[in-house]
Amino acid sequence: MATTSNAFHFSSFMQSSVDPRTGLFTQSIALPPLNANDLCGPDYPGQLDFNPMNSTNAGFGIGWNLKNSRFNSLTGMLDLYTGETFKVYDNGPGEKPVIPEGKLESFHFQNISKDNRKRYRIAHKSGLIEILEPQRSNPDIAITARVTNVSGHGIRFMYDTEKDHPRLTSIADDTGRSLLEIDYSLTDQVSITSNPKTPDSARYTLKLDSEQLRKIILPTSADEYWDVNYQSHEQGTGNEKVTLYFINRIKNPDGGVETITYKGDGHKYPGIERTLPCVEEHVVMPDLFDINTHMRTRYRFSSNNFLGNNTGLIYGDDGTDQLYRYANSHYEYTSTAEHYLGKAIQRTVVSTFNRFHLMTLQTTTEQGCIETIRTKYHEKDNTQFNDQPAYFQLPHKVIKSWHQAGSSVPGDSEETTTLYDNYGNLLTEIKPDGSRMERTYYPGTEDPDGVEIQLLRGDTSNPMPLQAEVRMKPVEINITRLDFFARYYQSSPIVKPGLAEGALSFTVSYK
């Protein structure tokens, strides 16, 4: 049984750290930029990520994979290169798919299959276009075959199809230049070379043992490498039994060591006899022999969790977030991180999340000082995910406050308010000093890439009211759209004399 939760979508999950929502430790290794088509792009991230929830080996060791998009036509699961995962109900070529958990349309998924050739198109709001195609070794999983940007420049992905899981072997741009090459010829070693056959060539060597990535050797020297150790955890029974691997020790090229200790029964699944380990302690030791450099953090997680424990739900393997089915807006779960200096706690951070994995409260206590950040979203109380507004995951009010522990004297506070439209475009922002920013947009139109976009029409900022008249020169900026790219603009500022009474306005107009 797979574990699906949109708690994994948040950026903290993609860092080399402990995620406060899930309690999982992940590791990411950034490769040099591809610099395709003489720097014309597209800009596609070259990154090797470890995800303990991934039990497959794509050639780099169990749990490790290069960031790219893939679509499983049997299960309907779509994994984007951004790290997001969605359940897609594909209705066939030319028909609009249903993506229940895709509230804001940040991408557009299309089935463009023809005859017996399966193909899928993903148009991102950023302008990036991906074409996904299945490979001979696994016709049910379509993976990135080509990526283009708004200027039409592209890169192509080539794969080795001899194994059950297609393995990326190279990436080349439209000029024919090879940007990345991967060699799997040795059974216990993988070589990743960026910018091959150029002065900027860099080779990373991955050493494997029993399908586990154990050593990552840097291009600079064979003596400079990361050493990685794991511990295993078995989930499920019978045909659904899988073994997950969790990183428990990393030695970096400088000799520093990280150790990660897990609580085996950390998170309980709702309604079934299953648990998921979570980090209990994370220790970073830049210098093994100098305890003054050691940074130790201990973690605690509430019985309520990102899986939906204590909701009365029964966890199901349908590829969707189980908590999204829960309508009680009072459900929340917390994590506590205690940062130590020696044997004493120096800082405590308590993070509270709602049923949609949005952080609603974060309280930081350090040396008797308390900082509180309270966030209210555009969420409708006691309403399921499907009936929430498109922008409900965006913040409405953020209130920050500071005070002394045990003091009856109220501290300082500040509030920021934001409003959005159904496309996630920022309409209004009111800052703590009272200044106000208003934006207007042209009506939404579906661009040639299939993503409905709205172009900014005006941007007006009004600072806090002034105590006296202030003489100043308003600036009018005219924006002209360039003919060859619909999304590119050039601006011509024009300074005009004028008098502002009480408030300064700054307007950006688009034509």
Q: Which of 234-243, 251-260, 397-406 has the lowest mean pLDDT?
A: 234-243
pLDDT for position 480 = 46
Looking at the predicted structure, is the pLDDT value of residue 483 above 60? Answer: no
Please enumerate in sequence order all residues whose Cβ is within 8 A of that of 493, keeping only pairs 6 or more positions apart, or say none: 475, 476, 477
Q: Has residue 322 been placed in a domain?
A: no
Per-residue HEC secondary structure of 370-409 comes to EEEEEEEECCCCCCCHHHCCCCCCCEEEEEEEEEECCCCC
Does 170 reside within a domain?
yes
Residue 509 lies in a domain: yes
Residue 324, classed as helix, strand or coil, is helix
Domain edge (last residue) among 172, 199, 219: 219
pLDDT at 478: 44
The most confident of the ranges 224-228, 375-379, 451-455 is 375-379
| Confidence category of residue 448, pLDDT binned at 50, 70, 90 | low
- Please report whether residue 346 resides in a domain: no
Domain assignment present for 20: no
- Write down the residue that tokens 């950034």 correspond to: 30
Is the pLDDT at 511 greater than 80? The verdict is no
Q: Give CA separation, 39 vs 34, 196, 198, in Å.
A: 9, 16, 15
At residue 66, does pLDDT exceed 90?
Answer: no
Q: Are 333 and 306 in contact (CB under 8 A)?
A: yes
User: What pairing do the DSSP bridges indicate for beta strands 77-79 and 70-72?
Assistant: antiparallel
Domain that holds residue 484: 445-511
Residue 92 has pLDDT above 60, yes or no: yes
Residue at 319 is within a domain:
no
100-115 pLDDT tens trace: 999 988 899 999 999 9
**Structure tokens that stand for 5 in this block:** 């939760």
Q: State the pLDDT confidence band at 164, using cuts at 50, 70 and 90.
A: confident
- In this prediction, residue 236 carries a pLDDT of 77
CA–CA gap between residue 140 and residue 157 (Å, rounded): 18
Average pLDDT of 315-326? 88
Within a domain: 484: yes
Q: How many domains does the chain have?
A: 2
Please report whether residue 230 resides in a domain. no
Q: Which of 284-288, 324-328, 449-453 shows the lowest mean pLDDT across its residues?
A: 449-453
Which of 175, 106, 176, 128 minimizes the C-alpha distance to 423? 106
Residues in the chain, overall count? 511
What is the C-alpha radius of gyration for the chain, rounded to an integer number of angstroms?
A: 26
The answer to whether residue 338 scores a pLDDT higher than 90 is yes
Contact assessment for residue 21 and residue 353, using Cβ atoms and an 8 Å cutoff:
yes
Of the given ranges (139-143, 151-155, 158-162, 374-378), which has the lowest mean pLDDT? Answer: 158-162
pLDDT digits (tens, 9 = 90+) for 278-303: 999 999 999 999 999 999 999 999 99
- The pLDDT value given to residue 465: 65
The structure's pTM equals 0.86
- CB environment 143-166: b (16+ within 10 A), e (fewer): bbbbbbbbeebbbbbbbbeeeebb
Report pLDDT digits (tens) over 380-429: 999 999 999 999 999 999 999 999 998 888 899 999 999 999 888 899 99
> What average pLDDT does the structure give for the chain?
87
Residues 6+ apart with CB under 8 A from 70: 78, 79, 132, 141, 142, 143, 144
pLDDT, position 410: 84
Q: What is the mean pLDDT of residues 189-194?
A: 96
438 forms bridges with which residues in the sheet?
A: 428, 460
Q: What is the pLDDT of residue 463?
A: 77
Q: Residue 154: which H helix or E strand, with range? A: strand 154-160
pLDDT, average across residues 457-461: 78
For the segment 316-341, the average pLDDT, to the nearest whole number, is: 92
- Which pLDDT score, from 0 to 100, does residue 446 have? 52
Q: In the predicted model, is pLDDT for residue 29 greater than 70?
A: yes
Q: Which of 201, 219, 237 is the last residue of a domain?
A: 219
Structure tokens at 149: 């940007």
pLDDT of 127 reads 87
Q: How confident is the model at residue 6 (pLDDT cuts 50, 70, 90)?
A: low
Asked which of 219, 248, 267 is the last residue of a domain, the reply is 219
